[in-house]
Each structure stands twice: as C-alpha cells, then as structure tokens.
C-alpha cells in the first residue's frame, strides 16, 4: 500500500535527520561556512525534487486526466500557490524562532521555552519534505524511492546543523539529539498525510504533487537561501546548492 510505503519512507528520512545529529555527541564542531554549505546542499535537493519529482509529473498526470495542457498548467499553478500559502500561514501563525533572525509568528512567544521555538521552526521546514515523500509514493514506488533518497541525503547535514546550533545555545548534546530526532519525526506524519490524500482520489494527485512542491519552494526562498547568505558564505552555499540540485536530478532520472 502507498500509505505504508510512505510511512516507511518518512521513517527513513526521520532517521537520517537523527543520524546527522549523532556527531555532536562526540563534541564535533561545525563552522558557519560548513553549515551554509550544507544548507545550500539541502536547498538544491529540495528545488530539484520540487520540479523533477513533483511539478513536472503533476503536470503530466493532469494532462493525461483532462487532455489539456492549459488545464494541467492551471492545476499546477493552483497547487503550487496553495502549498506555498499553506506554509506561509503556518509561518505567520505558529510562534517560532530562527537561528539568526530571531522570533517570528503569532502567539505568546515569551511563554514558550526557547528550545520549542526552534522545534516549531524546524517542524515548519520538515513538514513539506514529508508531504513530498508521501505524495511521491502515491505516484509509484520508484518515484517515492527517488524522493525519499534525495530528502534523506539532505536531512543528514541538516540534522547536524540543527544539533550544532542547539548545542551552541547551551543545550546538552543528548537533548540536542532528542530534539533533532523529534523534528525529523514530523516527516513521517507528513508522508502519511500526503500518501493518504492522493490515494483517496486520482484527481487529487496532480494537486497533491504540486502542493508539496509549492510548500518546499516557499521554504527554500523564505528560510534556507536567506540563512545561507547571511554570513558572507554565498560561494560555498551556492556550491552546495548546485551539488544538491545535480545529485537529486541524477537520482530522479536514474531511480524514477
């Protein structure tokens, strides 16, 4: 069943996030430049997955269903807009805090432990990744494996970046590992939701694919790219971005 496969795929991605945090238990430090390189890699993987694994297949499926490239393009545009709008709503309403730019979102932020603000921030980031895995498994196994592999690869350095940032704020190494693992667990939930939604009706599949893509594109533009360009490491971030994009494109073509 696609839902079961999606749950397993989300679990792999969640474990990859946790695995990335393990080096912090040994006191491993990561420079800001390396962190930006890794975040750039994550952005490249997400951008490539959004287009090659989600938007383009969504357009192809819609064109097959409705026999019109205009309808297919319109559905893709609506799906991307809805996905980006969904994450924008979460970003505006859920209190969270970025590692560099500080608090954002609604709610009583003063009453929340600072560590949970970071948890919310990473959760907003990881939910679209889980959705993309689930929707991809809703298409077929090979597409799901391709997206799962790419997302899991970028989750490893991402998990390390999160754990290092938390330990740098004074949290214990074990607590940083635990919190990083919890932020990765949301990918399992997102994967199940994505797969379940597209298996209910084939008509939802094109919208589901492009919705997940729009959510990921918002995260890339609003969260990751500004973070990687904030400390003067644009060249490394761009290098990581290109490596991630090319790797995910290669995986999608060969595995999908």
For residue 17, give both structure tokens. 């996030």
d(CA 49, CA 147): 7
DSSP letters, 223-244, are: IIHHHHTSSS-HHHHHHHHHHH
Question: Within a domain: residue 156?
Answer: yes
Return the pLDDT at 221.
Answer: 85
CA Rg, the chain, in Å? 17
d(CA 139, CA 30): 38
Question: Within a domain: residue 225?
Answer: yes
Return the pLDDT at 95.
Answer: 59
Return the pLDDT at 110.
Answer: 44
Return the pLDDT at 208.
Answer: 79
Return the pLDDT at 80.
Answer: 93
Q: What's the CA angle centered on 144, arms 141 and 147, to 5 degrees?
A: 155
Distance of CA 240 to the CA centre of its chain: 16
Question: Within a domain: residue 55?
Answer: yes
Q: Which pLDDT tens digits describe the chain residue by residue (256 residues)?
A: 788 899 999 999 999 989 988 887 876 566 777 777 877 877 887 788 788 877 888 898 889 888 999 999 999 999 999 988 988 887 777 655 554 445 555 544 443 444 455 555 566 667 777 888 888 888 778 878 888 888 888 778 777 767 776 676 567 788 888 888 888 898 999 899 888 877 777 677 788 778 888 888 887 888 778 878 877 888 988 998 898 888 878 877 776 5
Which distant-in-sequence residues (6+ apart) come within 8 Å of 170 by Cβ? none
d(CA 234, CA 98): 19
Question: Within a domain: residue 151?
Answer: yes
Task: List beta partners, residue 98.
Answer: 102
Question: Within a domain: residue 228?
Answer: yes
Task: List beta partners, residue 103.
Answer: 97
Q: Which helix (H) or strand (E) holds 96?
A: strand 96-98
Q: Which residues of 167-181 are buried (b: 16+ CB within 10 A; e: fewer)?
A: beeebebeebbbbbb
Please list the alpha-helical segments (H only) found in 140-233: 141-168, 173-200, 205-219, 225-228
Instruction: Please tell me the pTM assigned to this model.
Output: 0.69
Cα-Cα-Cα-Cα torsion 78, 120, 22, 246, nearest 10 degrees, comes to 20
Is the CB of residue 38 less than 8 Å from the CB of residue 238?
Answer: no
Return the pLDDT at 30.
Answer: 62
Please give the tally of structural domains in the chain.
Answer: 1
Q: Which domain holds residue 179?
A: 2-22+32-255
Question: Within a domain: residue 89?
Answer: yes
Nearest Cα to Cα of residue 45 among 121, 149, 139, 137? 149
Question: Within a domain: residue 234?
Answer: yes
Question: Within a domain: residue 185?
Answer: yes
């Amino acid at each position: 069943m696609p839902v079961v496969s999606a749950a397993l795929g989300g679990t792999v991605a969640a474990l990859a996030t946790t695995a990335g945090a393990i080096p912090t238990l040994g006191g491993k430090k990561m420079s800001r430049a390396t962190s930006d390189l890794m975040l750039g890699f994550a952005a490249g993987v997400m951008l490539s997955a959004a287009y090659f694994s989600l938007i383009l297949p969504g357009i192809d499926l819609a064109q097959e269903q409705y026999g019109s490239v205009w309808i297919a393009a319109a559905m893709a545009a609506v799906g991307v807009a809805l996905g980006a709008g969904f994450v924008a709503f979460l970003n505006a309403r859920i209190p969270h805090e970025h590692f560099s730019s500080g608090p954002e979102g609604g709610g009583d932020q003063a009453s929340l432990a600072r560590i949970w603000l970071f948890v919310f921030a990473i959760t907003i980031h990881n939910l679209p990744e889980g959705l993309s895995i689930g929707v991809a498994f809703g298409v077929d196994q090979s597409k799901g494996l391709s997206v799962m592999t790419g997302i899991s690869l970028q989750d490893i350095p991402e998990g390390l970046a999160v754990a290092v940032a938390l330990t740098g704020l004074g949290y214990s190494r074990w607590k940083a590992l635990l919190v990083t693992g919890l932020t990765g667990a949301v990918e399992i939930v997102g994967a199940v939701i994505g797969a379940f939604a597209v298996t209910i009706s084939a008509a939802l599949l094109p919208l589901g694919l492009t919705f997940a893509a729009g959510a990921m594109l918002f995260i890339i533009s609003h969260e990751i790219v500004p973070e990687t360009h904030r400390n003067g490491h644009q060249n490394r971030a761009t290098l990581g971005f290109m490596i991630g994009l090319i790797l995910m494109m290669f995986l999608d073509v060969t595995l999908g």
